[in-house]
A = this chain, B = another copy of it.
């Protein structure tokens, strides 16, 4: 595809709709990425009809910050999705988090809305559950899903069950009105989310208005669930059942686009918010392939994600890209497809991937790996330098919580937060994707690579203006006791007395 194609669609780009599947799978969970049971025929077909990204990253090894990054095009340390209550601490948005996405942040759906898009989020929002953070206040037109993870069941006394919203108001709670059987793993939520997507897409038929569908469902997140028809169908156990159901659903959504004749007008991207959670393995844990460790870490297993771009008639079938990509690029790329400029009054970390997708170009750009407020590592080309290493604390590890089960690289998968800022650990990810063999410090290769990387890091740090941290303060009174709409269905609960305090999550 040449520059002509690029200008061709630009001329009609206001009609390009977007679908983003933002899941919770590891790099190694797809057949196309080498999962040995190869149970994802629809995603594999999506890849063979589209473009596979092999070097694609999320913005954080945890869910909420990655979601905030995707929708703002900015690193969590800029958009406030981090904590300062401990050094390099991962943080997300449990129910007792007061914070969320600031009004000053410009979200992708807000920008698209101004260009005439209709925007829907299906699934997990995760950008704050207090009224001011409601997705319909941040650019989405429709919502079906929940503000937090489907943890539970809770007793509605110490902790309320998580509400499920349709648009502005809650329509029930997980475990109560939306069943999840913790014993059998049965829940039909993915089917509900699938139907929501199909219905939304059907409604767009015939409209001149483009849409943005953000399908952020959470079936592979612990507690893992699947519908009855998928239970027991995978070689991989319950986790595999959930993967199969998601794969089946994505296949149905893509076929629906084709049936309606709008697949060539819809740019679709599949990726994940963090590496597979290995602490849930083997029963509820996914696979990061041969990469080191998993969710919560800044090793490749924690942040390299499966990624597929699909856009029949535009992206050549069977393409493969080694472009270093990030979930934040979906922000900039979508704006580009909509003929919009990214905001110029703030630092945007995402880049426009269209030259990589449509013209096979490789854009030189670094990937930064953060944990909380600390830049742990950076990738430039095939080199990755670790400025800090940490898996989890000895205290946690001694209790059997292991982010790197069966893996141990001496001096790398450390159980104390170890500083290497003066002499970073350097890996060549082409020869050593598993981060097992740090390059020798005195080698020419180390010197040459670090010279290049140091410039990138200096520039990054010199211009870094951290946002107001949103994930610090916790207060049980702010939980989902009485979300909007609760009175209509008799689901309002009495909050405890407000008692804000610093969060403490053991690591």
Contact = CB atoms under 8 A, between A and B. Distances in A.
A236 B431 contact: yes
Given A235-B430, A382-B235, A282 B406 contact: no
Nearest to A52: B38
Contact of A237 (B31, B283, B431): B431
Interface string A58-92: 00000000000000000000000000000000000
Interface stretch (A175-183, A263-271, A287-295): A287-295
Contacts of A31: 320
A177 to B, nearest CB: 31
B405 A406 contact: no
9 contacts: A34-B290, A36-B54, A36-B433, A236-B430, A236-B431, A289-B289, A289-B290, A406-B408, A406-B436
Given A289-B289, A290-B28, A430-B240, A436 B405 contact: yes
Contact of A282 (B36, B48, B431): B431
Contacts of A282: 428, 431-432, 436-437
Interface in A154-171: none
Interface in A29-43: 31, 33-38
A31 B32 CA distance: 9
A interface: dominant SS: loop
Give the number of copies in the complex. 2
Chain B CB within 10 Å, residue with most, of A31, A282, A409: A282
Contacts of A432: 281-282
Contacts of A33: 34
10 nearest A-B pairs in the assembled complex, by CB-CB distance: A34-B34, A235-B430, A406-B436, A282-B432, A237-B431, A282-B431, A282-B437, A406-B409, A408-B408, A36-B433
A281 B436 contact: yes
Interface in A426-449: 428-434, 436-437
